[in-house]
Amino acid sequence: MAKALPRKDAVIIGLGWTGAILAQQLTEAGLNVVAIERGPWRDTSTDFNVAYMQDELRYAVRKDLFLQPNVEAMTMRNSAGQTAMPMRDYGSFLPGNGVGGAGVHWNGHTWRFTDEDFSIRTHLTRRYGAAKLKGLMLQDWGVTWNEIEPSFDQFEYLAGISGKAGNLKGQMQAGGNPFESPRSREYPTPPMKMSYAPTLFAQTMSGIGYHPFPTPSANLSQSYVNTLGVRMGQCTYCGFCERFACGNYSKASPQTTILPVLIKKPNFEARTECEVLKVNLTPDGRHARSVTYLDANGVEFEQPGDIVAICAYGLMNVRMMLLSKIGAPYDPVTGAGTVGRNYCYQTNSAARMFFEGKHFNPFIGAGTLGQSMDDLNGDAFDHSKLDFVGGAGINCVVSNGRPISNRPTVPGSPRWGAKWKQATVDGYQNSMGFTSQGSSYPVRENYLDLDPTYTDRHGRPLLRVTFDFPDNDVAMSHYVSDQMEKMTKPFNAKYAAVSRIKKGWDAVPYQSTHNTGGAVMGADPKTSAVNKYLQSWDVPNVFVVGASAFAHNAGLNPTGTVGALAYWAAEAITTQYIKNPGALVHA
């Protein structure tokens, strides 16, 4: 029997980026808020100690900061005809764990999806006709660029993002991204200083007509005092970013931007090492009463709340909805139901080049030390004569030169022994690369649901991921790989190769943690699980915040858009919902 606790105004499940933003905004509005977090409390100086944070074996190889499969695993398959099997280890993607969530271990690429993304169906139909979208479940997000732009701005100024504007209120800016949608003001801090590889990349790409610009970075180019008065440090280019937490207060995370203010508020409480099992609904299924959770000692509690915000990692948000029977599960055969629909991933490839006599010094690295270009991204180029829609961002980022995992060798080199060692020495200083991060568009067959066989340690069904790269995305990625091969030519490298995506997604090698969709936002309750304010259509006192709300995935990293959606949802709650609780959109 669960121990009943006193009611709170809002119960937040998960204390990562979205949970922290919602908690901050809701407590500012006077609400009494509790955040319930499955993982441990984590703080910079004590848990991300610079005296040992550079332990590559512990953090990058053994994945100390990540979710472990004995806590929550998933089952995976490529198509509905297969039997999904549980993964033994997280590989293709690595969900975060603990306070700060994936905001702790991310690289810090902080993008805005474009105005065309938010109204993708309208835009592409207008430009190419509806037939072009055949087989794709592309749909508008229900929110417009002008509505959401201030929320992007809020997130970027919270996080101190380093970059260069390319489009200020419609005025194009030299040195920025000419393909970005209009932004209301410049980035809060200037771009990162560039090392050799991105400098060479930008020069070479400019020379053949592309438009490179500094990748917008949550590793800060200079010290910064954010909008809450919290101070951040300057990035030291140490190269221990992705898979690591920042010990220098220079990578934006909930810890470095929000928690110092939030945690001191008398109307906020964080309960860590407490795992929410489900959201409890009233018998009619139209109202969330409470959440049930287990604390670290296995004691079960029931926490009632007027508002329940599901703010876990995107995939876990979807699972929480399915376990709690919030909304109807998506059925890929009939197309009915919305929860689990529009699951998307990312469609990537990479170019690697080897030179002689260079000194790329990759140990000067940062999660977002790089140059990017969007000439081939989204709908920045004409698709009318192409057999796909979508595109990819091209990124030359020197994230690290770490000794265990970063040992590039020219293909054909020995795989072990003294000659291998010599090849890694040559390759370390003489190799650079760039990648394509491709869009992922929804199709009927890719979806999320509960596994019929496998359960977690509490007996709850695991999430089942059914996914393969759609034909559209494979065609897109191959087109981009063709262009990448052309891009390598003017470098005159001794050796250059570009990888190509293949059908048959493999859950083992790391690819991307940018899983999106499953509880998508939209204007139509038949095709979206939450409305434009990320409010459940079916249970209006539940908000589901995260990349789970993305109706498709773009060729861009998701965190900037996740942060914007969190601010957007928080504003709807504080300015509309608490004045008049109930559905904010009537379909």
Partner 1 sequence: MKQILLAAAFAALSSSAMAPPTDAGKYQVALGDCEGCHGKNLAGGVVLTTPFGRMVTPNITPDKDTGIGNYTAEDFARAMKAGIAPGGKLLYPAMPYPSYARMSDADIAALWTYMRTVKPVKNSVNVNQLKFPFNLRFMMRGWNMLFFAPAPYANNPAKSAAWNRGAYLVSGAGHCGACHTSKNPFGADKSTALTGAALLGWFAPDLTSDQGAGLGSWSNADIVTYLQTGRNNHSLASGPMAEAVENSTSKMNDADLKAIAVYLKDLPASRGNGGGATGIEAQMKSGANLYDISCAACHGRDGKGSLIFPPLAGNPTVRQVRADSIVRMVLAGGRGASTAKAPTGQGMPSFAWRLSDSQAADILTYIRNNWGNRAPAVSPETVGHIRSALRSGS
Residues forming the active site: 514
- Residue from 84, 102, 137, 238 binding partner 1 (CB under 8 A): 238
- Residue from 43, 186, 273, 426 binding partner 1 (CB under 8 A): 43
Q: Which CB sits closer to partner 1, 86 or 304?
A: 304
Q: Which CB sits closer to partner 1, 267 or 424?
A: 267
Contacting range for partner 1; rule: CB under 8 A; set: 23-31, 78-86, 92-100, 479-487: 23-31
Euclidean distance between CA atoms 525 and 341, whole angstroms: 12
| Residue 303 sits in the site that holds partner 1 (CB under 8 A) | no
| Residue 318 sits in the site that holds partner 1 (CB under 8 A) | no
Euclidean distance between CA atoms 307 and 12, whole angstroms: 8
Euclidean distance between CA atoms 193 and 296, whole angstroms: 44
Q: Which CB sits closer to partner 1, 97 or 248?
A: 248
| Residue 282 sits in the site that holds partner 1 (CB under 8 A) | no
Q: Which CB sits closer to partner 1, 246 or 474?
A: 246
Contact at 8 Å (CB) between 344 and 329?
Answer: no
- Residue from 87, 261, 386, 584 binding partner 1 (CB under 8 A): 261
Q: Which CB sits closer to partner 1, 249 or 360?
A: 249
Q: What angle do CA 225, 231, 233 make, to 5 degrees?
A: 105
Which residues, numbered 47-66, are part of the site for partner 1 (CB under 8 A)?
49-52
Q: H or E element: which one contains 572?
A: helix 559-572
Radius of gyration of the chain (CA): 23
| Residue 171 sits in the site that holds partner 1 (CB under 8 A) | no
Q: What's the min distance (Å) between Cβ of 245 and partner 1?
A: 12
DSSP-derived secondary structure for 64-131:
TTBPPTTT--EEEESSTTSPPEE-SS--S---B-STTTHHHH---B-----HHHHTHHHHHHHHH-GG
- Residue from 3, 40, 45, 57 binding partner 1 (CB under 8 A): 45
Q: Which CB sits closer to partner 1, 303 or 548?
A: 303
- Residue from 71, 225, 508, 587 binding partner 1 (CB under 8 A): 225
| Residue 247 sits in the site that holds partner 1 (CB under 8 A) | yes
| Residue 223 sits in the site that holds partner 1 (CB under 8 A) | yes
Handedness of CA 339, 124, 374, 157 (dihedral sign): negative
Euclidean distance between CA atoms 167 and 186, whole angstroms: 9
Environment class of 50 (CB within 10 Å of its CB; exposed 0-12, middle 13-18, buried 19+): middle
| Residue 5 sits in the site that holds partner 1 (CB under 8 A) | no
Q: Which CB sits closer to partner 1, 52 or 510?
A: 52
Contact at 8 Å (CB) between 19 and 12?
Answer: yes
Which residues, numbered 362-391, are part of the site for partner 1 (CB under 8 A)?
none
Q: What's the min distance (Å) between Cβ of 240 and partner 1?
A: 11
Q: What's the min distance (Å) between Cβ of 265 and partner 1?
A: 11
| Residue 31 sits in the site that holds partner 1 (CB under 8 A) | yes
Q: Which CB sits closer to partner 1, 20 or 274?
A: 20
Q: What's the min distance (Å) between Cβ of 161 and partner 1?
A: 16
| Residue 227 sits in the site that holds partner 1 (CB under 8 A) | no
- Residue from 3, 126, 169, 231 binding partner 1 (CB under 8 A): 231
Contacting range for partner 1; rule: CB under 8 A; set: 17-25, 30-38, 476-484, 521-529: 30-38
Q: Which CB sits closer to partner 1, 257 or 466?
A: 257
Q: Which CB sits closer to partner 1, 480 or 570?
A: 570
| Residue 232 sits in the site that holds partner 1 (CB under 8 A) | yes
- CA nearest 546: which of 255, 317, 269, 278? 317
382: three-class secondary structure by DSSP = coil
| Strand pairing category for 288-294 and 300-310 | antiparallel
- Residue from 182, 233, 304, 337 binding partner 1 (CB under 8 A): 233
| Residue 40 sits in the site that holds partner 1 (CB under 8 A) | no
| Residue 46 sits in the site that holds partner 1 (CB under 8 A) | yes
Contacting range for partner 1; rule: CB under 8 A; set: 209-217, 226-234, 315-323, 325-333: 226-234
| Residue 244 sits in the site that holds partner 1 (CB under 8 A) | no
Handedness of CA 27, 31, 37, 40 (dihedral sign): positive
Euclidean distance between CA atoms 329 and 310, whole angstroms: 17
Q: What's the min distance (Å) between Cβ of 52 and partner 1?
A: 7
Contacting range for partner 1; rule: CB under 8 A; set: 170-178, 200-208, 223-231, 396-404: 223-231
Sheet strands (E) in 355-469: 370-373, 392-397, 431-438, 447-455, 461-466
Which residues, numbered 547-586, are part of the site for partner 1 (CB under 8 A)?
578, 581
Euclidean distance between CA atoms 35 and 12, whole angstroms: 5
| Residue 533 sits in the site that holds partner 1 (CB under 8 A) | no
Contacts 24+ apart (CB under 8 A), 43-47: 43/255, 43/259, 44/245, 44/246, 44/247, 44/249, 44/255, 44/256, 45/247, 47/245
| Residue 228 sits in the site that holds partner 1 (CB under 8 A) | yes
Give the position of tokens 């192409």.
Answer: 386
- Residue from 173, 227, 236, 413 binding partner 1 (CB under 8 A): 236
Q: What's the min distance (Å) between Cβ of 504 and partner 1?
A: 44
- CA nearest 378: which of 540, 181, 194? 181
Euclidean distance between CA atoms 88 and 95, whole angstroms: 14
Euclidean distance between CA atoms 499 and 485, whole angstroms: 10
Contact at 8 Å (CB) between 21 and 563?
Answer: yes
Question: For residue 214, which phi and psi values (nearest 5 degrees)?
Answer: -65, 130
Q: H or E element: which one contains 348?
A: strand 347-354
Q: Which CB sits closer to partner 1, 249 or 543?
A: 249
| Residue 29 sits in the site that holds partner 1 (CB under 8 A) | yes
| Residue 80 sits in the site that holds partner 1 (CB under 8 A) | no
Binding site for partner 1 (CB under 8 A): 7, 9, 29-32, 43-46, 49-52, 223-225, 228-234, 236, 238, 247-249, 260-261, 264, 306, 578, 581
